[in-house]
Amino acid sequence: MRHVIRWRVGVVTVIGKSWGTAQELQVSVASDAERGAALDVKALAYVDMVGQPQAGDTVLLNTTALNLGLGTGGYAIVVALPDRLPRDPDGPGHLVKARYTPSQMTVLGVDEQDSEHHGVLKDADDLGGMPVVVADLHSALPAIVAGVHASKPSARVVYLATDGGALPIAFSQAVQGLRDAGWLHGTITVGQSFGGDLEAVTVHNGLLAAHYVLQADVVVVTQGPGNLGTGTQWGFSGVAAGEAINAAGILGGRPIAALRVSEADERARHQGVSHHSLTAYGRVALVPAEVPIPALAGEIGALVASQVSALAAQHQLVRVSIEGLRAALQRSPVKLSTMGRGLDDDEAAFLASAAAGRHAATLL
């Protein structure tokens, strides 16, 4: 199978906005006979990986996502500043992320032997009933947190990022905005995702670290930005939501299955309750979870109630009032957007996620 990477060399012309360790740039890519005319592109550099770009720097770019026109990942990614490489880092850590790729790196895992927390996690095996809200899309994160915050503003909410979407957590402006507002207490990256306050090998140890190290009240588990779907029954990255439900239940947590709902998606498989939720929670999840059902009115409410009944034999369906949740969502410190749609375009999507957060708060 042919693996395609589109490489370019350019010069930084403008230093744009930044958030966390992510730095936006404008880069002028020179023309040549093979690649055509010169153009300016929007690029993203992770300064903790490649160093801090400056205007005039030559940069090596991976333009694959940009050329594909991906809505979430539509940046050229800075691979290196070849004329000004960062110094070699010091410190412990032997967890390798992006393994055996040109971008492989080592990080200190919270669960590895060199970690100060290894002794705590070595025999850890119980979440003590901690609520764990699992969602398919990264765009559900701000809405879930808004639902928690509306009921329990002092709750310590931790985000656990799986590796189904963007691997660097720094890519998410939502995460940085929620942190800046004090709505997120901490972040954990697991699997091949990286850049959280804590790194862990698996979802299981990530959840245990949230409980024992960060003293989380609630954990929200989603993939990073950039859901992958193929229009097939099983070919979507949100399948991992069912596996996260299993991890939370096996470890003695309170798994809460946030529904992916839409009243505006034109694709039949995502209208009402998405088949992603019905497959992940109905076929992949093997332990009981609580499934918050937003008390939506009208046709969308009836459709959701009908579809979610398929989960009743396995899970506990919990009807949740949506009174006041729109106002809570409007107070979100970060932009609400799912598949390019905002709160006014697809209100049901955000209310369903906020209802899951509200339900989690009632368990505290």
What distance in Å separates the CA atoms of residue 326 and residue 297, rounded to the nearest whole number? 14
Measured in degrees and rounded to the nearest 5, phi and psi for residue 133 equal -95, 125
Spans of all domains in the chain: 7-80, 118-362
State how far the Cα of 362 lies from the Cα of 353, in Å rounded to an integer: 15
Rg (CA), the chain: 21
7-80 folds as: OB fold (Dihydrolipoamide Acetyltransferase, E2P) (2.40.50)
Architecture of the CATH domain 118-362: 3-Layer(aba) Sandwich (3.40)
Nearest in space to 208 (alpha carbons), one of 115, 141, 144: 115
Q: What is the rounded CA–CA span in Å between residue 160 and residue 189?
A: 6
Partners of 161 in beta bridges: 189, 222
Average pLDDT across each block of 10 residues of the chain; the chain has 364 residues. List them in order: 80 95 93 64 94 95 78 81 89 86 90 95 97 97 98 98 95 97 98 96 98 98 89 87 97 97 84 90 97 95 93 97 97 94 94 98 98
Backbone φ and ψ for 236, nearest 5 degrees, come out as: -145, 145
Q: List the structure tokens of 56.
A: 């005039």
Question: The pTM is what?
Answer: 0.93
284 DSSP assignment: I
Q: Is 107 helix (H, G, I), strand (E, B) or coil?
A: strand
- Residue 77 three-state SS: strand
- Give the integer Cα–Cα distance in Å for 80 and 364: 46
Q: Which residues pair with 317 in a beta bridge?
A: 291
pLDDT at residue 37, rounded to an integer: 60
